[in-house]
């Protein structure tokens, strides 16, 4: 059985990636420092508790499992925190990745799937956003991911290293079989926060701005189910195995939904009311983001199959424990 090293394999997206890898016959080896990940989400292969800065731990893991490829998701991903503590993000996300890449080079591991983000685009002039849109991140989180994309391109030019960078839009939902959940601490994302408000674990959902230049005044985002994201990673590995060229790909649906539309869907699916409080705009929120996904479809044969909003909300709600 071929093993694949999954950094951040105990996290929300990483654990779903491990499940899909296992379903396709790979052994997913989760490498995670458990700062934000959960050991009990690692169910389909070994968990190595370690930090990507730790060259010895990485070296031991690479020597032991001899992975055919790496899926690299280990990163800090709170935009607000990246603004207040940029060095934390550049140190972990950028310098940690450089350390990882050095270890991979020493062990001859040359296939790499990278977890990037639509935050590398900043505030786009045009949506849907295609991959050749100018990348001008507006926060250190997005900058850190863009820096890694550039490092990967340089490394690929200098050696036989090959990579796919997947620029996720809004990851959402949970494993349809109920084996995994979204468990961020703190939780800042819209859908889980709205479910918390519907389920009574927080008093209300704060809606950050209802005066945007969008049809209902609230922000538009492109929500993609985490199982679809996971599927795209497995396809990216197949693509690299088959000699595919280095590439950056958007992962989204191209069908953005507003905050109000999400709340309506949550009320419809859960049968519960979402109490809301309208707040001022959150700093750095673009009015609308949406992916042009044709390239991922052409290159990977990927199109989302779980990302209709009812499936996203149903699977997220099933994994969520309401107060009452």
Measured from the CB atom, the residue of 85 and 285 that comes closer to ligand UDP is: 285
> What is the 3 state secondary structure string of 184-245?
CCCCCCHHHHHHHHHHCCCCCEEEECCCCCCCCCCCEECEEEHHHHHHHHHHHHHHHHCCCC
Of residues 177, 175, 171, the one with CA closest to residue 191: 171
**170 touches ligand UDP by CB under 6 A:** yes
Measured from the CB atom, the residue of 186 and 271 that comes closer to ligand UDP is: 186
Of residues 292, 286, 221, the one with CA closest to residue 260: 221
Q: How far apart are CA 270 and CA 219, in angstroms?
A: 22
**105 touches ligand UDP by CB under 6 A:** no
Could you give the C-alpha distances from 6 to 28, 75, 87, 256, 284, in angstroms and in order? 6, 12, 24, 29, 30
**188 touches ligand UDP by CB under 6 A:** yes
- The one segment of 17-25, 65-73, 202-210, 238-246 that binds ligand UDP by CB under 6 A: 202-210
Measured from the CB atom, the residue of 155 and 289 that comes closer to ligand UDP is: 289
Among 2, 55, 282, 314, binds ligand UDP (CB under 6 A): 282
Measured from the CB atom, the residue of 42 and 288 that comes closer to ligand UDP is: 288
Q: In Å, how far from its chain's centre is CA 167?
A: 8
Among 99, 130, 201, 206, binds ligand UDP (CB under 6 A): 206
Measured from the CB atom, the residue of 234 and 266 that comes closer to ligand UDP is: 266
Q: How far apart are CA 11 and CA 34, in angstroms?
A: 8
Q: In Å, how far from its chain's centre is CA 291?
A: 14
- The one segment of 100-108, 123-131, 185-193, 243-251 that binds ligand UDP by CB under 6 A: 185-193
Minimum CB separation of residue 229 from ligand UDP in Å reads: 14
Minimum CB separation of residue 28 from ligand UDP in Å reads: 25
Q: How far apart are CA 210 and CA 259, in angstroms?
A: 9
Among 19, 221, 225, 233, binds ligand UDP (CB under 6 A): 221
**189 touches ligand UDP by CB under 6 A:** yes
116 close to 149: Cβ distance less than 8 angstroms: yes
Residues 6-25 that bind ligand UDP (CB under 6 A): none
**2 touches ligand UDP by CB under 6 A:** no
**283 touches ligand UDP by CB under 6 A:** no
Q: How far apart are CA 233 and CA 115, in angstroms?
A: 9
Measured from the CB atom, the residue of 206 and 264 that comes closer to ligand UDP is: 206
Of residues 210, 211, 78, the one with CA closest to residue 141: 78
Among 74, 152, 207, 288, binds ligand UDP (CB under 6 A): 207
**312 touches ligand UDP by CB under 6 A:** no
Pair of tokens at residue 186: 């703190």
Task: Annotate 10-26 with DSSP letters as a single string.
Answer: TSHHHHHHHHHHHHTT-
Among 71, 174, 257, 259, binds ligand UDP (CB under 6 A): 259
Residues forming the active site: 141
Which residues make Cβ contacts (< 8 Å) with residue 150, sequence separation at least 6?
none
**72 touches ligand UDP by CB under 6 A:** no
State the residues that interact with ligand UDP by CB under 6 A. Answer: 170, 188-190, 193, 205-208, 219, 221, 259, 282, 285
């Amino acid at each position: 059985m071929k093993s694949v090293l999954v950094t951040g394999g105990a996290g929300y997206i990483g654990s779903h990636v491990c499940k899909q890898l296992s379903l396709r016959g790979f052994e997913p080896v989760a490498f995670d420092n458990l700062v934000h990940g959960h050991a009990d989400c690692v169910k389909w292969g070994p968990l190595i508790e370690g930090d990507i800065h730790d060259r010895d731990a990485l070296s031991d893991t690479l020597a032991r499992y001899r992975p055919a490829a790496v899926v690299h998701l280990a990163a800090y991903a709170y935009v607000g925190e990246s603004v207040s503590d940029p060095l934390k993000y550049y140190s972990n996300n950028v310098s940690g990745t450089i350390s990882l890449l050095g270890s991979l080079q020493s062990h001859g591991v040359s296939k790499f799937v990278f977890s990037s983000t639509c935050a590398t685009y900043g505030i786009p002039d045009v949506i849907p956003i295609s991959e050749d849109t100018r990348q001008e991140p507006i926060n250190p989180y997005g900058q850190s991911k863009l820096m890694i994309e550039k490092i990967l391109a340089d490394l690929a030019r200098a050696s036989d290293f090959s990579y796919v960078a997947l620029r996720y839009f809004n990851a959402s939902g949970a494993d349809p079989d109920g084996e995994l959940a979204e468990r961020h601490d703190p939780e800042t994302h819209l859908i889980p926060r709205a479910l918390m408000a519907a389920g009574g674990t927080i008093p209300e959902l704060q809606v950050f701005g209802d005066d945007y230049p969008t049809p209902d005044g609230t922000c538009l985002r492109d929500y993609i189910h985490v199982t679809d994201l996971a599927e795209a990673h497995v396809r990216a590995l197949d693509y690299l195995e088959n000699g595919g060229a280095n590439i950056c790909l958007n992962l989204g649906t191209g069908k953005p939904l507003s905050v109000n539309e999400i709340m309506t869907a949550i009320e419809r699916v859960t049968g519960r009311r979402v109490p809301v409080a309208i707040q001022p705009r959150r700093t750095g929120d673009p009015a609308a983001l949406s992916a042009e996904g044709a390239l991922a479809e052409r290159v990977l044969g990927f199109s989302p199959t779980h990302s209709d909003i009812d499936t996203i909300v149903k699977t997220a709600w099933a994994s969520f424990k309401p107060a009452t």
